[in-house]
Amino acid sequence: MLENSSRMELSELGEFGLIKHLTQFVEIKNESTIKGIGDDAAVLDYKNKQILVSTDMLVEGIHFDLSYVPLKHLGYKTVAVNLSDIYAMNGTPKQITVSIAVSNRFSTEALEDLYNGINMACIKYGVDLVGGDTSSSRSGLIISVTVLGEADKQNIVYRSGAQQNDLLCVSGDLGGAYMGLQLLEREKQIFIETPGIQPDLEGYDYILERQLKPEARKDIHDLLRLLEVKPTSMIDISDGLASEILHICEQSKTGCTLYEEKIPIDPQTFETARLFNLDPTVCALSGGEDYELLFTIAMSDFDKIKHNPDITVIGHITDQASGSNLVDKTGNVHKITAQGWDAFMKRND
Amino acid sequence: MLENSSRMELSELGEFGLIKHLTQFVEIKNESTIKGIGDDAAVLDYKNKQILVSTDMLVEGIHFDLSYVPLKHLGYKTVAVNLSDIYAMNGTPKQITVSIAVSNRFSTEALEDLYNGINMACIKYGVDLVGGDTSSSRSGLIISVTVLGEADKQNIVYRSGAQQNDLLCVSGDLGGAYMGLQLLEREKQIFIETPGIQPDLEGYDYILERQLKPEARKDIHDLLRLLEVKPTSMIDISDGLASEILHICEQSKTGCTLYEEKIPIDPQTFETARLFNLDPTVCALSGGEDYELLFTIAMSDFDKIKHNPDITVIGHITDQASGSNLVDKTGNVHKITAQGWDAFMKRND
């Protein structure tokens, strides 16, 4: 799409023209959005709610590779992963701002694709795009998103609330986004070595979608409300299960026991990991980008969630002195590290 | 400062370590900040106020040149110019998030300088740093700031409220930041041609400070409240007086008459412009980065502001059909353009 024949140069529009052009289809969906794009600041009104704010910056060549990520998907993913942070606080996202810096390698059409993806995610999750900034960069594309959400004070869930004996739960399954990335990287290498060859991605739909078009778990947020379960702590899995568990334990001043055999891994993730000579557990622990919710609940809430196929109990919270440990399938105990996989990598050596 | 002998590599700290390190001295100043850095999102509580949100992205080589901008000043300026947007809505800034992407050319000490400047501005303006993101870039430094502020609903001033016969006012003086930049660019060129030569910046303190360490006009915001003047429209001058006037006229569906002789220009700005063979009025109209407030007030409020040395009446609002015009010192009328200076450049040819 970067080679569109009717390419419109960014310089033809100018900054104000570009913002207007890219945001012309933005419609306000939330009552709390008093004024969106077009003034010095957006104006929001949350009445008696508390407000949640989260921000993320994505850099070409570091966080994404446009040689295999379509810009529309990138726009969608950028929004989804930011909303994920608000759901991880048990809140409801309401507004986003999006700032981009682009080099002149990009056409207006390319940025339209990006904004189409952004807009699709806004519609799907019911959030309003209320502001942003557009500027030049010397190399590549940089996207910075800030999301605002709301919650009743008593509903907000911090990372710090886990209590001893709480159950450690995770939504969905893990490691898929990482395996999707491995697959895309492999096909890219093949393409570099043999230009013109078609990528062989058939049969990998699930892990590709996990990597290219992840969703924020609004459904889990809604489900927990329906089941009347308020987690004691929660975080979304962006850096990998191990890293997120340590955040919860550190901030809650607890330890934990995690059971390898309980970690939910999709068969396609499992098979692909094996094919790539990777340990599926390692991928789940440290792969990252799954954007599932990791949370703790009181033991007394177990009956409410136990039959739900989208929630898996993977361990429990212990006292801080016990540390954060993983019990592997053979019953051996490993210390969980920030990288998540030191012990496991050794096991595979 | 990038060649500090005790240079600490960014990779030694890792992302979480770096965030902790850079934000270790952050103290929460506002009651509305319930939870700052350290969870998936910050938590804010504005009770019955409305919330203002503004965001900006600054890219090395586009918005700043580290060959003459110290990182501490850059940090300070980045915050100040964002706060300016909230004052331009007649609101009070309360929280900011700061995301940065940096190449490995930067040391931890360099980023400390940047954050020192950010922190200084936060203290000066009473805002809390509540979140952010830190990542790598392939080239240079990118900073993205989002600021949140509050206002009572009835106090918010939009760009769209100017009425026919309202007075067009500006705070401070204009063109200084632009002349500061010209001076720095000249000295940079001399340095490139004759390395080792010391820059000749003596006697240019005012315009250098306007460029390197601009302030947001909190004082004007406070003064207007004290004088019981609520502007009918307001915007801050980031792109130049001409461009901002056109924003107000377009959104208010009005025209305006601006008088060249009324535009406030500091003597140092004026003299430096002459020295550089530039028209001082052109610099004021299109130089940008002054971060003064441009606002309109009802004629009936004139008595309240007329003796204030920090506020200058530079024209008045007319009907839309009359267009946006500038009356020059000889009485000739020029159409104001987005670039602000087309007509004037011709005059100097």
Q: Which one-letter amino acid corresponds to residue B108? A: T
**To 10 degrees, what angle do helices A10-22 and A108-125 make?**
10
**Domains, in order of start, for chain B:** 10-155 (3.30.1330.10), 159-348 (3.90.650.10)
Q: Show pLDDT as tens, one digit a residue, over chain A (349 residues).
A: 334 446 667 766 666 677 778 777 778 888 888 888 878 888 888 888 899 999 999 999 989 999 889 999 999 999 999 999 999 999 999 999 999 999 888 988 899 999 999 999 999 999 999 988 888 888 889 999 999 999 999 999 999 999 999 999 999 999 999 999 999 999 888 888 888 787 778 889 999 999 999 999 999 999 999 999 999 999 999 989 999 999 999 999 999 999 999 999 999 999 999 999 999 999 999 999 999 999 999 999 999 999 999 999 999 999 999 999 999 999 999 999 876 544 444 443 3
Pick among B20, B53, B81, B85 to test the A interface (most A CBs inside 10 A): B53
Interface check B18 vs A, CB under 8 A: no
- Round to whole Å and give the CA distance between A233 and A70: 35
Residue pointed to by tokens 């019953």: A331
Interface check B51 vs A, CB under 8 A: yes
Q: Which of B14, B41, B91 lies closest to A53 in CB terms?
A: B41
Sequence-ordered list of residues with C-beta below 8 angstroms from that of A118, at least 6 positions apart, any chain: A75, A76, A78, A79, A98, A129
Q: What is the pLDDT of residue A344?
A: 45
Cβ atoms of A98 and A144 within 8 Å: the answer is yes
Provide the token pair at B149.
């502020």
Cβ atoms of A232 and A294 within 8 Å: the answer is no
The CA angle B55-A236-A297, to the nearest 5 degrees, is 135
Give the ipTM of the model, two decimals please. Answer: 0.87
Q: Where are the alpha helices (DSSP H) in A173-295?
A: 176-193, 205-212, 218-226, 241-252, 267-275, 280-286
Interface check B95 vs A, CB under 8 A: yes
- Round to whole Å and give the CA distance between B14 and A235: 20
Provide the token pair at B234.
């307001």
Low-confidence spans in chain B with pLDDT less than 70: 1-8, 11-12, 14-16, 339-349
Q: Which of B133, B139, B159 lies closest to A39 in CB terms?
A: B159
- Whether residue B53 and residue A136 make contact (CB cut-off 8 A), yes or no, is no
Strand ranges for chain A from DSSP E: 33-35, 42-44, 50-59, 92-102, 128-136, 142-151, 167-171, 233-236, 254-259, 293-297, 311-319, 324-327, 333-335
DSSP assigned state of B141? -
Please give the residue of chain A at the shortest CA–CA distance from B233.
Answer: A39
Q: For residue A277, with 0-12 CB atoms within 10 Å meaning exposed, 13-18 middle and 19 or more buried, which class applies? A: exposed
The CA angle B218-B144-A212, to the nearest 5 degrees, is 150
- Using CA atoms, how far residue B75 sits from A133, B15, B100, B106, in Å, is 18, 19, 11, 15
Q: Which of A99, A130, A235 lies closest to B144 in CB terms?
A: A99
| pTM of the model as a whole | 0.90
- Round to whole Å and give the CA distance between B265 and B271: 10
For chain B positions 245-264, those within 8 Å of chain A (CB to CB) are 251
